Structure 1
Amino acid sequence: MIICIDIGGSAIKGAIATSPDAITPLERIVTPLDDRAAFDAAIAAVVAQAPDARAVSISITGVVDPRDGRIKVANIPCIDGRALAADLSAQLGKPVLVANDADCFALAEAGAGAGRGHAIVFGVILGTGVGGGLVVDGKIVNGAGGFAGEWGHGPATATSAGNPPLAVPRFPCGCGQVGCVDTIGAARGIERLHQHIHAIAATSTDIIAAWQAGDVAAARTVDVWVDLVASPLALVINVVGASIVPVGGGLANAPALIALLDRTVRQRILRRTDEPLVVVGQCKVEPGLIGAAILGLGAHHD
């Protein structure tokens, strides 16, 4: 038995796990953002609910450097730069594992979702931002700096897209670069494209609903969005050799959108297949906890 925890910018969610299929949720706690002592106390309060747990496994919205365990997490300032696993392990008296939430999503899908039976799984997040995680033979691939799988950043977007082609600027990204997939691929990105193309402000949910209802303007936005996102994703798939690409995040709530992205991606990869490749993730409820459970149980068998 282990404690698995999913830490986001708004809530800390905990659970007791005896297997990936046997996860008992615990009460949620508001995430302390600026108070390190309060943050540590919140984690301790979760762990205290299962004193016999052998270890703690954490999914978190941040990137962990595998060299020293230090975490980069902009939206929780009180832990930014900390060697979080080592610090919490010393305080709790238990082994602690910490992994990126997109990595945990990919691990959840590889072990208990759409990626079961696949050797190479690339998990994609299309939500508030664009993220990803790579799992090979059931293991997370971290890479230098912990950034493996982070396909959302880097100047990768085209400057024209859609049919007929439309000029698209390379938008500045919060990471400091311009033209990142994150600037157009996420929910805010599709909204940004709609504003650019039509000078109309609309939510991603409304844009997708209008597209499905046959709205011409929304269809144009979706056409440009798919064209821009499909090419960098196809390149990633060529490089890593993934045979399945589960998608999570808010945009995954629109199966028709993911199906269109899938068809376009399969036209642009080297490996030809009639089988769906980019699919909606199957771990609908708390994939961060499921991934953390798989990670922790794999490292600490009862």
Structure 2
Amino acid sequence: MVRIGIDLGGTKTEVAVLAPDGRALLRRRAPTPPGYAGTVALVGELVEAAEREAGAPPGGATVGVGIPGSLSPTTGLVRGANSTWLNGGRLDRDLSARLRREVRLANDANCLALSEAADGAGAGFGTVFAAILGTGTGAGVVVDGRLLDGRNRIAGEWGHNPLPWMEAGEHPGPACWCGQRGCIEAFLCGPALAADADGPGARDTGALPARAAAGDARAEAALRRHAGRLARALAHVVNLLDPDCVVLGGGLSNMEHLYEEVPRLWGRWVFSDSVTTPILRARHGDSSGVLGAARLWDAAP
């Protein structure tokens, strides 16, 4: 049976089809429409078109969806999504009704972790901690090939803990959309890095490494602060979970200096005489989430 994955993002939605042997048969993206009803309609259209193109009978493929939030185990409603129009919706029920089959949902960072642990940078490691560094910041944990979901289904919500070992100039931390201040996400996400370098409203992070290499002092200082904060945030994870590897995904994971700077810095905060944990770039790049979503049925109990 072919498996279809959907990565439901705030600006784009991606669909992928995996063959039974794990090969990607197709991947396609479309702009995410604003509004709950439009999102449900788009997912339905993408799945049905992908099914036809893959040669599967209608309803013949499993469907997994990665979302920028999670389903509450108490109410069954989406919560904590920075695509705020999803919050309060019974998205699994509504997508299942639209597609006339059961649909499995998971947090998008969990999908990244599942994909990278299966056949990506984390393949062969027992415990994989995979973090998304992009428009938002989140993480997922896979242990021996299975997602760690947690009693409250919030395992891996790393981005909404406070930045550890704050320095004097960092208190109390920037406001986060979740209602708290000083969250890891509010310090480490792409918009935060851009604003640190170029002021409020700045959005471009892609040029920062080249600017720093060319001697731009503002870019260099912002990247240095960001790497130090990431080192602290990941040291906290190593102290708590001690994963076999850390995988970085999302747009900021393409910044080469992180893979040198973070291992150089984080030993100051890790409660060990040595830190040998590898920090790896996601092998599947920005398609890790959609490929992991397609694998949600593989990971189901």
Q: Which residue of 2 aligns with 1:129?
A: 136
CA–CA separation in structure 2 for the residues paired with 1:91 and 1:80: 19
Aligned residue type for 1:136: V
Aligned residue type for 1:293: A
Aligned residue type for 2:169: A
CA–CA separation in structure 2 for the residues paired with 1:33 and 1:135: 32
- Give the drift of 1:276: 5.5
Per-residue CA distance 1:166-187 (angstroms, 9 max, x = gap): 7234221111111111122122
Which of residues 65, 81, 100 in structure 1 aligns to 2:107?
100
- Give the drift of 1:74: 3.7
Q: Which residue of 2 aligns with 1:212?
A: 213
How many pairs align?
291
Q: Which residue of 2 aligns with 1:149?
A: 156
1:239 pairs with 2:218? no
1:173 pairs with 2:162? no
Per-residue CA distance 1:40-93 (angstroms, 9 max, x = gap): 33222223232252421111222222444321234251x322222233223422
Aligned residue type for 2:240: V
SS at match of 2:66: strand
SS at match of 1:155: coil
Aligned residue type for 1:226: A
- Give the drift of 1:281: 1.4
Residue pair 2:5, 2:290 contacting (<8 A) in 1 also: yes
Aligned residue type for 1:220: A
CA–CA separation in structure 2 for the residues paired with 1:103 and 1:146: 11
CA–CA separation in structure 2 for the residues paired with 1:135 and 1:128: 23
Percent identity reads: 31
SS at match of 2:257: helix
Residue pair 1:64, 1:70 contacting (<8 A) in 2 also: yes
1:114 pairs with 2:121? yes
CA–CA separation in structure 2 for the residues paired with 1:135 and 1:19: 21
- Unaligned runs of 5+ residues in structure 2 are 52-57
Task: Show the 5 A alignment for 1:1-302.
Answer: 1-19=2-20, 21-25=22-26, 27-36=28-37, 38-49=38-49, 50=51, 51-72=58-79, 73-75=81-83, 77=85, 79-160=86-167, 167-169=169-171, 170-194=173-197, 203-271=204-272, 275=276, 277-299=278-300
Aligned residue type for 1:75: S
TM-score by length of 2: 0.85
